[in-house]
Amino acid sequence: MAKKQKRRKGRKTKSAGRFGVRYGTRIRKAVVAIEERTHAAHNCPKCERGSVKRIGTGIWKCAKCGYTFSGGTYVPQTPLGLASQRALKRAVEKGTEIGIVSKETMEAEGELGE
């Protein structure tokens, strides 16, 4: 009897089980929703393997190749982050066209010039 009850409780709380009965159902559910996305397998932008882990706020590291990069607070890539990357790339391309930034500088800086 007691065993059955315990099992049902664990299934419902998931990762928010560490909070016990505290903070309220809605907040604990929100935590579970975020943590499920945070702890899911994310692909590494360098080696493509799904072993990227969060090591701090917005800091992500691949356990296989050791590549560390910045991203969203709870997920490695956010829609807003992608939009800002596109805007930055466009601005840099415009800069190379009118000569604010030279093509050589961009190639020396790496990835954005590709």
Binding site for Zn ion (CB under 5 A): 44, 46-47, 62, 64-65, 67
Measured from the CB atom, the residue of 32 and 65 that comes closer to Zn ion is 65
Q: Is the sign of the CA dihedral 83, 33, 42, 39 positive or negative?
A: positive
CB of 107 to Zn ion, least distance (A): 24
Query: Judged by CB, which is closer to Zn ion: 70, or 105?
Result: 70
CA separation, residue 71 to residues 61, 64, 80 (Å): 10, 18, 10
Token pair 């709870």: residue: 74
> Within 10 Å of residue 48's Cβ, how many Cβ atoms?
10
Angle value at C-alpha 35, between 33 and 82, nearest 5 degrees: 90
Q: Closer to Zn ion at the Cβ: 63 or 91?
A: 63
Choose between 65 and 112: whose C-beta lies nearer to Zn ion.
65
CB of 71 to Zn ion, least distance (A): 13
Q: Is 54 helix (H, G, I), strand (E, B) or coil?
A: strand
How near is the Cβ of 75 to Zn ion at its closest, in Å? Answer: 17
Query: Nearest distance from residue 38's CB to Zn ion, in Å?
Result: 18
